Amino acid sequence: MYIRFKIINRLNGNNIGTFTRRTNTGITHVEENITDYQFPPFLRINGKVNCRKIIEGDEKEIAKANKYMKFNQPKRITEEEYIAKTNDCNNFFNCFGYDAYPVTEEERAFPLAFSILTFKDADQTERLLRSIYRPQNFYCIHIDKSSSEVLHNALRKIANCLSNVFIVSKIEDVIYNHVSRLRADINCMTDLLSKSNKWKYFINLPHQQFPLKTNLEIVKILKIYNGANDIEGITNRLLSHRFKYSYRYINNTLKRTGLKKGKLPYNANIVKGSAYGIFSREFVQYVINDEKAKAVLKYMEDFVSPDEYFWATLNHNEVLKAPGRFTGNPEKKSWLAVYASWRQTDRCHGKFVREICIFGVGDLNELASRKELFANKFYADFQYLAMDCLEEYIHNKTFSPLPFDSFYYRQLPFIRKS
């Protein structure tokens, strides 16, 4: 982030100002003003707009940001620049700020595991990684087999510089609506289980999401979950045309065969949901090792978008006995893994692509108040100040932690009571 901060400020003609850094010297804290430093504890990414005002919903500042983006292209880091920067891992680690964030004992005692699925943009992928990076966590990156060689090289070199980040051992050629998307996550799950027996929860992310909470906030929320999964469940809009018949990928197209599907194994009911969720470690172990989970996966391999049915079906069928499952009506519970804005029901100040909002700066006021842990989605080359300002917001909130309001999360119907 510091590299980006420095590059953007220089390209914008801004001087890097003076910051106050606190260093722990035992009982006392020493404050010193510095102008030459590795990484700012409090960050302002762009000196031409005020992200704080934008997040507060200031219409004049939002209009100013939109005008600025109209005449100024985003300043991005190329794959080749990442390859060059990672020739010296210590320099990369320090300059990009991977060692800069405070880590509490509570976070150290509750490590997390993440997967990031990407097919382009080392820049946006690395920004997401950095925003969720902590040394006690574990990170699996899945790069589409068909992606460019330079992207593979850049992300491999980044992973080689970070001991708790790795590229998945089995890479899929991910095809839209195909089971390969689901397999990519399962491959990361398998690797993460073998990497460590310490992490408590697994979160799967595409590279176009961004966090709405700090790592400490995520830890506090997941401790309240107490082993429960946070998986979307939909029973009244199943889109049954996706699974009544078997589908096969023929000549680069997913086509329906004449083979009608039989009953789901174990007399379970099909439930729809999102491809993304928050999964307890025990649930991940169940997905990889349990015969019931394997049978459901086999049954769903020829669905359209099986990733939107597999997790939801496992989590919302008592007969399947998945750890952390929900036994009530899934339509009556919240789903907080990811917030997305849909054309038919929600606001969007960016643009809609495939019915989902690509967030703009005008959406940040709402995003900052959401209870979800992540937001989907952002484009680094569209309304780029939206992600810049959200990055600044999360960074600065990490360094100025306020008391955590746990009341909302403690009332959720799916959490497991101690």
Check: CB of residue 133 under 8 Å from CB of residue 149: no
Beta-carbon contacts of 156 under 8 Å, excluding residues fewer than 6 positions away, are 167
* H or E segment and range at residue 20: strand 19-25
d(CA 221, CA 208): 22
Which of the following is catalytic: 61, 126, 308, 391? 308
CB 44 within 8 A of CB 24: no
Helices (H) and strands (E) in the chain, counts: 16, 14
Tell me the DSSP string of 324-340.
Answer: T---S-GGGS---SEE-
Q: What is the largest CA-CA distance in the chain?
A: 74
Residues 6+ apart with CB under 8 A from 224: 406, 409, 410, 412, 415
Q: Classify residue 251 as left (phi > 0), alpha (psi -120 to 50) or beta.
A: left
Q: Which of helix, strand or coil describes residue 261?
A: coil
Identity (one letter) of the amino acid at 162?
Answer: L
Task: Give the C-alpha separation, 306 to 106, whole Å.
Answer: 36
Where does residue 275 rank: exposed (0-12), middle (13-18), buried (19+ CB within 10 A)?
buried
Active site residue 80: no
What Rg do the C-alpha atoms of the chain give, in angstroms?
A: 22
CA distance 299 to 265: 8
Catalytic residues: 308
